[in-house]
Structure 1
Amino acid sequence: MRLITALLFASSAVLALGAAAQTRIYCCDDAAGRKVCGDFLPAACQGRAYEERDNRGFISKSVEAPLTAEQQARRDAEAAKKEELKKKAAEERRRTLALLATYSSEKDINSARDRALAEVDKAMKQSQQRLEEANKKKQKLERDKEFYKGKPLPEQVKAQVLDNEKEIKAQQDAVEAKVKEMEEVRLRFAEEKTRYLELTGKKSTEAAPAVPAAPAAAPAKPAAEKK
């Protein structure tokens, strides 16, 4: 009987110690700045930052207060900005590696530029030829219109005039686009060349444009002789 009683007492003590070891206390500063604690999260701590302490009073966990809509929006904006900067850095690194893998010298860049310009120039000349043909067709249509002067213009001629106007406009736009594209190609390769030389530390092999000499100063006029 005494043995059973001792065992029961020991079991109760162990359970009590286990419960004490698992005790958690929640503390926060309420709206008035007073420290509020409890075995469960006090009502005054709802929506506020709080600390979780163990039975010895040491902080085991800290929980931030929920963000307001404005704070959440600001945090989201900061995270989006960081992600954008991260993407830009990765893209810059990709472009750098691609640049170094594509070109082994400044001459390679110049050759690639010339090939690209030749392709654009070829397409531009084709558009210029079509534009010239369309303008010739326009002159013929003008003579046809002169033939029907004072008379209703046949529908077929009207349609040809309208198509010709559209063709001239389309080819003019195409030529202008190719002129713009050629400038963009020159700019792109110039930037790639500058970047390549910066990355490799090489010096440009192209001669710098000559700086025109300043004009010589005009000779001073002789002083007038006194009479």
Structure 2
Amino acid sequence: MMRRLLFCLLAAVSVPAGAQSSAKAPRVFCCPDASGHQICGDVLPEQCYGKSYREMSPQGGVRRLVEAPLTPEQLARREAEERARKAEQARQRAETRRNQSLLETYSSVQDIDNRRDKAIESVQSELKQAEARYVQLQARRQGLTREAEFYQKRSMPVALANSLRESDSELAAQWSVIEVKRRDIENIRARYEQDRARYIALTDPRAPDIR
């Protein structure tokens, strides 16, 4: 029993003093007051509330720096900056995906030109059909107009009046189809021109940056 007690006492004495004191090392909190003088305490001084402060070691080293709480304006600005940063990251990811898709879609500039011409040719064929149909409708409308001239001084038959209204409606609708086809051709040209310029920028190191 005495031998065990003696062993425990020797073990306690052999523990380094630094290890014992480090667990109980006091903390010191410091911050400048309104006049710039440092105020320190083993608990956070009241003057440091709402300000940034330093937690010091007994040897004078800085253990950590605690920033002051953000004001509502600072918090709003930080959140806005974070949203802008995330939006820019999303934009860059989207641009990377778009560029990759472009390189996977086309094999060369000539490939882009060929696809553009084929797409335009298809719509131009539809445009010609729409224009031909419009000419037919115009011819029918002219025939109805000549027929209506016989009724300038008397009542026009209901069937003829209805035919005139239907003809005008068909002409307006067909002209809308023609305008849509013409816009489609312009949009195809613009889209392929954008793809062409970006493809060259991605594959030709001498090309200017189009971003």
| Residues 146-225 of structure 1 aligned to structure 2 (within 5 Å) | 146=149, 149=152, 150-151=154-155, 154=158, 161=164, 164-201=167-204
| Residues 52-71 of structure 1 aligned to structure 2 (within 5 Å) | 52-71=55-74
Residue 90 of structure 1 is matched in structure 2 by 93
Give, in whole Å, the separation in 2 of the partners of 1:162 and 1:63: 81
Give a deviation string over 1:105-132, Cα, whole Å, max 9, x none.
Answer: 2221121111211232233234334433
Give, in whole Å, the separation in 2 of the partners of 1:24 and 1:161: 97
Give, in whole Å, the separation in 1 of the partners of 2:35 and 2:169: 77
- 1:131 equivalent in alignment to 2:138: no
In structure 1, which of residues 25, 33, 38 is the aligned counterpart of residue 36 of structure 2?
33
Give a deviation string over 1:78-129, Cα, whole Å, max 9, x none.
Answer: 2233223222322222222222222222221121111211232233234334
Runs of at least 5 residues in structure 1 that lack an aligned partner in the other structure: 204-227
- 1:122 equivalent in alignment to 2:125: yes
- Cα gap change, 1:181 to 1:58, in 2 (>3 Å): same
Percentage of matched positions with identical amino acids: 37
In structure 2, which of residues 70, 75, 79 is the aligned counterpart of residue 72 of structure 1?
75
Runs of at least 5 residues in structure 2 that lack an aligned partner in the other structure: 207-211
> What is the root-mean-square deviation in Å for CA atoms of aligned residues?
3.8
Give, in whole Å, the separation in 1 of the partners of 2:28 and 2:144: 96
TM-score by length of 2: 0.69
The residue identity in structure 1 corresponding to 2:175 is Q
Give, in whole Å, the separation in 1 of the partners of 2:141 and 2:131: 15
- Cα gap change, 1:126 to 1:53, in 2 (>3 Å): farther
Give, in whole Å, the separation in 2 of the partners of 1:24 and 1:134: 94
- Cα gap change, 1:79 to 1:125, in 2 (>3 Å): farther
Of residues 143-152 and 39-48 in structure 1, the stretch that sits farther from structure 2 once superposed is 143-152
In structure 2, which of residues 103, 106, 124 is the aligned counterpart of residue 103 of structure 1?
106
User: How many residues were matched structurally?
Assistant: 195
Give a deviation string over 1:136-191, Cα, whole Å, max 9, x none.
Answer: 4543554565455443774x766655554444333323322322221222232233
